[in-house]
A and B are shown apart, each in its own frame.
Chain A
Amino acid sequence: MKKLLTGNEAVAQGAYEAGVKYASAYPGTPSTEILENIAKYTEDILAEWATNEKVALESAMGASVAGARSMAAMKHVGVNVAADPLFTISYTGINAGMVIVTADEPGQYSSQNEQDNRNYAKFAKIPMLEPSDSQESKDMIKTAFEIGETYDTPVLVRMTTRVCHSKGIVHCCERKEVQIKDYKKDVMKYVCVPAVSKRLRVKVEERMQKLSDFSDVTELNYFEWNDKKIGVIASGAAFTFAKEVFGDSVSYLKLGFTNPLPAEKIREFAGNVDKIYVIEENDPYIEEQVRILGFDCFGKNLFPSYGELTSDVIRKSVFGEANKTIEYDRKKVVPRPPTLCVGCPHRGFFYQLGKRKDIIVSGDIGCYTLGFAEPYNAVDLTICMGAGASMGHGAQQVFDMKKDSGKRVVSVMGDSTFFHTGINSLINVSYNRSNAVTVILDNRVTGMTGHQDNPGTGYTLQGKKTVELNIEKLVRAIGIENVVQINPNDLTSVKAALDWALSLDEPSVIITRWPCVLKKLSLQDKEEFKEIFQDKYSIDQNKCTGCKVCIKTGCPAISFDNAAKKATIDLEQCVGCSVCFQVCPVGAIGKVGT
């Protein structure tokens, strides 16, 4: 049956067809939809959101040891979190097949860096496949399980944003049931004490040698012979971009199995063409191997090392110019940066925080990262998941070394980030007793990646009711006594909470609790937040003095008319958070209908 699937949907289809029984992930663009789609197979696959990527990988490994085909999926930076188990499960190998999907981001559409995770395959010594489109994404997942079980190894499948989020026609098949294997106790395989690991270390090298031979014979790496003046070696999305540019005018070595690389096939190809272009996104991963084998080529000396190698980029690099475009006045185009949504519960908090002087805000990864932008200017640092509170702690400790520095750190993180790794950072704050203020912006859902459940929402990925972790109790349990929970839309409470926390000389936590405006509310949410999103506010044009204070809330429903010198609220967009109503100094804003 033919279906139009994104790469992520195709990975899910591949997992289904391959008889996967267990899958785990932490959401992260561009990988999120993999587990969301696997989760639809409720009868056949147990799919779970893990608290973070390390936990996801370890859970999948446990499932493999117990005998079921399993999968873990994550965005590229998630593999950093999961790197610890990754490097050692490479030693142990598996019981049933286990596949790790990494979704890399050439072009950095939604990420803090552009790391090339192909290096992880080489570094951790595990085989890797790189699909170019949706059909290959599905097929390669199935092949990855076979390779893994043949060679007793976890397998990495490297996707990129364009493969994950592009759709193509996929021929779908039936599921092949794979029985759960027996678990066999085998300490010489699974207990990585030095005496065992030293022996496994040798096995890893033997395995990689066998996989090197496999790489040279597998059809995942293939030639397309045309004119032999130019030969293109490419993998992943870059292969499709190269084909778009060169069509049938050059020969290709298409690489789908990229660790270990096929030395013999590269030699054969290089020996048959006059000039080699290695077209790969990000690092010179293939290029280095080509050079090690003794062949000169055009690689990063011609193509950029960053961003996507789309067809126009390849054209510019090779021919000096892209296709002809229409000339026009680009100055008229105004940037359209992402903003906090109308009714976003982070707005009230950042409005108040941004007004404070001598505050350093240590941020984290989530929608609230947007607190750095105008009009709030209320985030100083953003590095990675969970870094907010720990960097904040270290900074506070140093600020306090200088007598009367007066500098205070406020660290912010979301609910999902708290469960991911933020909780470790907060334990460190508690243990080492800095007076950094930590704020947990609990919007009752994992927001940025598109509204996934997490340990605080009371539901699992597959919609089962589960225990709802109580953030306040957790914070108290780790030894922080100064905890307050507030409604972030209530500016008076936000100010009072910040005043109180900043007056303390020991750790404190402020929890803001209000649902994301885009969250599909659960029954409990509806019970807890009874008055939510029911009101609308408008501005009395006679009372408005044009002072623009409401504009400083950064709400996209409010606009300012420069000619009339008045602000107005778009009633279709307003959801009644009332932040503008609270800041208006002349009482011009009121609830509609009162």
Chain B
Amino acid sequence: MVKSILLVGVGGQGTILASKLLTTGLMEAGYDVKMSEIHGMSQRGGSVSSQVRYGEKVESAVIELGGADILVAFEKMEALRWLEFLKPGGKVVINNYEISPISILSGKIDYPQGIIEEISEKVDTVVIDAAGHAKDMGNSKVMNVILLGATIKSMGLDHIDWEKIIEGNVKQQFVDINKKAFKCGANLV
């Protein structure tokens, strides 16, 4: 059975590191893994996604419409943008964090209201304040690993030694804070 994890956010939020840790852990646990990311212009503040698929044998690296078992949104509105990729009956983890595109920053339109309500009415939704927790830890950048922790817990992948994966893939001086962030995220679900 192939499972699909869709991580979405805004360029610069660290979805790439989160998916790197995730895919490395899955590979070392013996799964076949494929992952797809689109780089390029989207890095300049655009919407980004990392699509991770794992199982005994994975064919396509790309998650199709209605194909994700879990949607993890690093930014609130991105959850809604990518919701059509979630399987009916799938789970959503939303970071309660807003990054406004230029049309909203400039005051032309307002940030859409009621996103969490719209989604939680329809699917199993967990809202977490990863930004707040990251700030409390003294490094707002670890928001991504908090979200990774929440993802692992939601997907029942706790049996993998994630601390070892973090040690092997994160710069020495950031290992401890990332381990802490990972645990924090797992405890939020």
Contact = CB atoms under 8 A, between A and B. Distances in A.
A276 to B, nearest CB: 20
B39 A336 contact: no
Interface in A159-198: 161-162, 165-169
B50 to A, nearest CB: 10
A290 to B, nearest CB: 23
Given A326-B122, A339-B45, A240 B61 contact: yes
A475 B170 CA distance: 45
A445 to B, nearest CB: 14
A330 B58 CA distance: 31
Contacts of A341: 44-45
Contacts of A29: 39-41
Contact of B34 (A166, A323, A335): A166
A325 B106 contact: no
A448 interface: yes
Interface stretch (A49-57, A386-394, A548-556): A548-556
B38 A165 contact: yes
A375 B103 CA distance: 10
A376 B176 CA distance: 44
A548 B27 contact: no
Contacts of A551: 105-107
Contact of A556 (B39, B42, B77, B102): B102
Interface string B97-125: 00011111111011110110011001100
B22 to A, nearest CB: 10
A315 B37 CA distance: 22
A165 B11 CA distance: 16
Interface in A366-383: 367, 370, 374-375
Contacts of B87: 323-324
B163 interface: no
B88 to A, nearest CB: 5
Nearest to A557: B105
B153 to A, nearest CB: 22
Contact of B66 (A161, A325, A337): A325
Nearest to A567: B107
Interface stretch (A121-129, A256-264, A558-566): A558-566
A133 B106 contact: no
B72 to A, nearest CB: 16
B129 interface: no
Contacts of A161: 38
Contacts of B27: 2, 4, 169
A110 interface: yes
Contact of A375 (B43, B106, B119): B106
A325 B90 CA distance: 10
Given A4-B24, A169-B33, A323-B64, 4 more contacts: A133-B61, A326-B122, A337-B46, A339-B45
17 contacts: A110-B39, A133-B61, A243-B60, A312-B66, A332-B77, A332-B115, A333-B112, A334-B77, A334-B112, A339-B101, A367-B44, A551-B106, A558-B105, A559-B100, A559-B104, A560-B107, A562-B110
